[in-house]
């Protein structure tokens, strides 16, 4: 007896593994994630911008968030 990987179908070829119905392949899921990210960036107004612009705007956003948290801590400590 051979292992299951060695078995052949009735026509002589090897068995072909088929994914479950409704499952996406890895490439399809990756492409869908890229489309989703592009849609989010487009909604935020950064759809056509380059990587450097996005990094810069993200850095400015993080800096503003840190300043706001620091100001809130100082304001609460003052009360």
Domain assignment present for residue 12? The answer is no
pTM beyond 0.75, yes or no:
no
Q: How many domains are contained in the chain? A: 1
* End-to-end Cα spacing for the chain: 81
Task: Output DSSP code: residue 22.
Answer: T
6 Cβ partners below 8 Å, 6+ apart?
none
Any domain includes 35: yes
Any domain includes 11:
no
Note whether residue 16 is domain-resident: no
Q: Is residue 18 part of a domain?
A: no
Cross-strand pairs, 8: 14
Q: What is the pLDDT along the chain (79 residues), one digit of tens a residue?
A: 556 666 666 776 777 777 677 666 678 888 889 999 889 888 988 787 788 988 998 999 999 999 999 999 999 988 7
Instruction: Flag whether 15 is in a domain.
Output: no
Domain that holds residue 53: 23-78
User: Does residue 17 belong to any structural domain of this protein?
Assistant: no
* Coil, helix or strand at residue 8: strand
């Amino acid at each position: 007896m051979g292992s299951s990987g060695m078995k052949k179908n009735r026509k002589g070829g090897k068995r072909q593994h088929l994914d479950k119905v409704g499952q996406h392949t890895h490439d399809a899921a990756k492409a869908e994630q890229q489309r989703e990210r592009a849609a989010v960036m487009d909604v935020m107004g950064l759809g056509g911008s380059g990587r450097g612009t996005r990094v810069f705007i993200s850095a400015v956003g993080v800096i503003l968030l840190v300043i706001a948290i620091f100001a809130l801590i100082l304001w609460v400590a003052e009360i």
